Chain A
Amino acid sequence: MRHTISLLVENKFGVLSRISGLFSGRGYNIESLSVGETIDPQISNMTVVTSGDDQIIEQINKQLNKLIDVIKVIDMTELDHVEREMVMIKVAPRQEDKAEVLRLAEIFRGRIVDSSQKTYTIEVTGNEKKIEAIIELLKPMGIKEFVRTGKIAIAREGIKKA
């Protein structure tokens, strides 16, 4: 099963290679990884998407916790949480498809962030399903390339009923 694991780590050089080294050294898979600073500049947040059976996921969580630069490990999959990913897709449509490309961008609440005589670059944010859907729909129109940020995730806060 797939798990999204959120890590708080010391913002030091070499930490990323400790994390990725743990995964490669023990034969675990990283499906996506994104890193950024947190509100405390000494701490970074990493979101890792990985997969494995329960025993492997338990080991991954424990091994991550054991790394000295890791402050906190949260398995988001076990919590109510919001996941987002961003993609930038460069499409080179035929003249007759241009309108459809723009229409799709609008349906997916994407934005055109760059355009040229032959191409549009569309930025779309959403969960994984949404990102995959727009990629599928744009494929027949002629995707030149796309880049994805990898997933980020944050826990939802509970709401008190009024």
Chain B
Amino acid sequence: MKMSGAEIFLECLKREGVKHVFGYPGGVILNIFDLLYDSKDLQLVLTRHEQGAVHAADGYARSTGKPGVVLVTSGPGATNTITGIATASMDSIPLVIFSGQVPTMLIGNDAFQEADIVGISRPCTKYNFLAKDVKELATIVREAFHIAMTGRPGPVLIDLPKDVTSAKTDFVWPEIKIRSYNPTLEGNKWMIAQAAQLISKSKKALIVAGGGVILSGASKELRELAEFNDLPVTMTLMGLGAFPGTHDLSLGMPGMHGTYYANKAIQEADLLIAVGMRFDDRVTGKIDAFAPNAKIIHIDIDPTSIRKNVRVDVPIVGDVKRVLSVLNKLMKEETKEQWTEVRKSWLRQMEAWKKERPMTYTYSEDVIKPQFVVEKIFELTKGDAIISTEVGQNQMWAAQFYKFDKPRMWLTSGGLGTMGYGFPAAIGAQFAHPNKLVIDIAGDGSIQMNIQELATATINKLPVKVAILNNRYLGMVRQWQELFYNERYSHTHLEVVPDFVKVAEAYGAVGLRATKPSEVEPVLKEAFKIKKTVFMDFVIDWKEKVYPMVPAGAPIDQMLFEEKPEKTEKKLKAVK
């Protein structure tokens, strides 16, 4: 039976198991939108900006492990997706983006709403296609999903000229084989054996877990490795939730805004077991001074991640889950008695560092501290909520004070650091998990970057909650200006911040506000009760900074800490 390109598109998505597509219509993509008008298999979620559509698909993907799918038109529709695609690319999130394109005979003629999106998106996609012939369409779609989901995942874009979506051909669901694409899944046995030996011999070993553990679904294997061998674990920003944040062996996050004890442990360690992470500069600080005493075992599916930034003693290319299960088996054969006491003394050192400098902030009864809001969210949700964030101070406070025990509950733009990510990502996650509590921890700057998605949330009756930590500043940049630019606050004071309660109400959502610490809990409780989109405006202490902090380019054990206000110090809250 002959099918049009648009029909083939729909059939392929159905076969790939896609239920939700996030998108925005336009001229050259109408053949597909016309079919979506009465499709029962696919729900098109209309966002209010194409960037929002990509972030929503990204939140959907991160919270489920399934690919997120986007459908937009040509020209500006396509170029508006770029920030979202680059965000997903940096964090290895599987997306398939379909963009409309002018008819093939007009490509290159500067036609109306034409953009060379294949050229523009090339550096920020894992791969991209221009579908020139309807006969290739099914193969291209299958290859796109395959490439997006396998190896190190990432976004794949397919450009669909209008004539290709209207042309007809026989539909065949193709078998695919890409001869030049064969990701290495099994780690080298000899290398894994080397790793096992290094671990047994080490006295001060430490696991550094990254987002790759979550992408690979290896939390169980990681936990086994840590618990069986009494190894402390630190999780990078992308790795939060890969290992339980409330576990005794957890050291929290390392790096620029990491915990004192995680950074100390890295600097003192004689062995780092880096799992599914890529030694980002925010983790390593000054690279020459990073982990000076440690041998490094690096497990990653992407060979280019290995030895890109740091020297590695045992490189293991492979799928984290498979490598860890082999490693765990080998560790069971090693004799444990010899090192039990050695390990215990290293773990006692962790406890000492945790006591010396716990993750703290100075509580106030007069003004809301942002960390207090995050703590309360954790307390009230008992950790059973999907948390997204924007970028800046809000993101770091969320990472520091919310304890993630499970993977895929934490959605944050780590690599690219995209303001405006969190709200649409929360919307995408809520579509995937209609009964879960989904909360975007936002700042007053970031939330304004995709605030139009309030319409998407309310029209779809999504009970997404947004907790705005409102300090009237672009706080993280302001913090840098205060610490490193002589308090010259160039263009970081927002001066006019909209009344977020009224903005929410204007869109048909609920707006709540807290201006005093005593109001924080009641506002959160009320918001969690309401089955509607809720904006919570927490008017916080604008002077509050994110601590600890390693200045950019300094070794990670040279940390700045909060200076304790002398007599006004009311109580120091230690966070477990």
Contact = CB atoms under 8 A, between A and B. Distances in A.
A25 B180 contact: no
B307 A55 contact: yes
Contacts of A58: 307
A141 B130 CA distance: 51
Contacts of B302: 66
Given A14-B130, A62-B304, A66-B303, 5 more contacts: A21-B122, A21-B123, A25-B123, A69-B180, A70-B180
Contacts of B303: 62, 65-66
Interface in B173-196: 178-181
A55 B311 CA distance: 10
B122 A18 contact: yes
Contacts of A117: none
Interface string A81-119: 000000000000000000000000000000000000000
A94 to B, nearest CB: 48
A62 B181 CA distance: 13
Contact of B178 (A55, A63, A68): A68
B127 interface: yes
A38 to B, nearest CB: 14
Given A14-B118, A17-B122, A21-B123, A68 B308 contact: no
B122 A68 contact: no
Contacts of A149: none
Interface of A is mostly: helix
Interface in A3-23: 9-10, 14, 17-18, 21
A133 interface: no
Contacts of A17: 119, 122
Nearest to A63: B304
Nearest to A25: B123
A29 interface: no
Nearest to B143: A68
Interface in B108-149: 118-119, 122-123, 126-127, 130, 147
A71 interface: yes
A151 to B, nearest CB: 23
A59 B122 contact: no
Contacts of A63: 304
Contacts of A68: 126-127, 147, 178, 180-181
Interface of A: 9-10, 14, 17-18, 21, 25, 55, 58-59, 62-63, 65-66, 68-71
Given A58-B307, A59-B304, A66-B303, A71 B179 contact: yes
A21 B116 CA distance: 15
A69 B147 CA distance: 12
A6 B382 CA distance: 56
A72 B123 CA distance: 21
A28 B118 CA distance: 22
Contacts of A14: 118, 122, 130
Nearest to B304: A62
Nearest to B129: A14
A63 B126 CA distance: 12
Contacts of B147: 68
Contacts of A71: 179-180
A75 to B, nearest CB: 15
Contacts of B123: 21, 25
Contacts of B307: 55, 58-59
Interface of B: 118-119, 122-123, 126-127, 130, 147, 178-181, 302-304, 307-308
A55 B178 CA distance: 29
Contacts of A59: 304, 307-308
A62 B180 CA distance: 14
Nearest to B181: A68
A140 B259 CA distance: 68
A10 B180 contact: yes
A69 B181 CA distance: 8
A70 B118 CA distance: 18
Contacts of A21: 122-123
Nearest to B118: A14
13 contacts: A10-B180, A14-B118, A14-B122, A14-B130, A17-B119, A17-B122, A59-B308, A62-B304, A66-B304, A68-B127, A68-B147, A68-B181, A71-B180
A25 B304 CA distance: 15
Nearest to B147: A68
Q: Which 3 A-B pairs have the closest CB atoms?
A: A71-B180, A62-B304, A62-B303
A18 B125 CA distance: 11
Nearest to A72: B180
A14 B302 CA distance: 23
Between B118, B130, B180, B303, the greatest number of chain A beta carbons within 10 A of the residue's beta carbon is seen for: B180
A58 B311 CA distance: 12
A14 to B, nearest CB: 7
Nearest to B302: A66
A115 B179 CA distance: 48
A59 B180 CA distance: 18
B393 to A, nearest CB: 31
Contacts of B127: 68
Nearest to A67: B180
Contacts of A18: 122
Contacts of B180: 9-10, 68-71
Nearest to A70: B180
A10 B180 CA distance: 8
A55 B126 CA distance: 23
B391 to A, nearest CB: 23
Contacts of A62: 303-304
Contacts of A9: 180
A151 B305 CA distance: 30
A124 B451 CA distance: 65
Contacts of B308: 59
Contacts of B130: 14
B118 to A, nearest CB: 7
Nearest to B128: A14
Contacts of B304: 59, 62-63, 66
A58 B305 CA distance: 11
Between B119, B303, B304, the greatest number of chain A beta carbons within 10 A of the residue's beta carbon is seen for: B304
B26 to A, nearest CB: 24
A58 B178 CA distance: 24
A61 to B, nearest CB: 9
A67 to B, nearest CB: 8
A5 to B, nearest CB: 15
Nearest to B183: A66
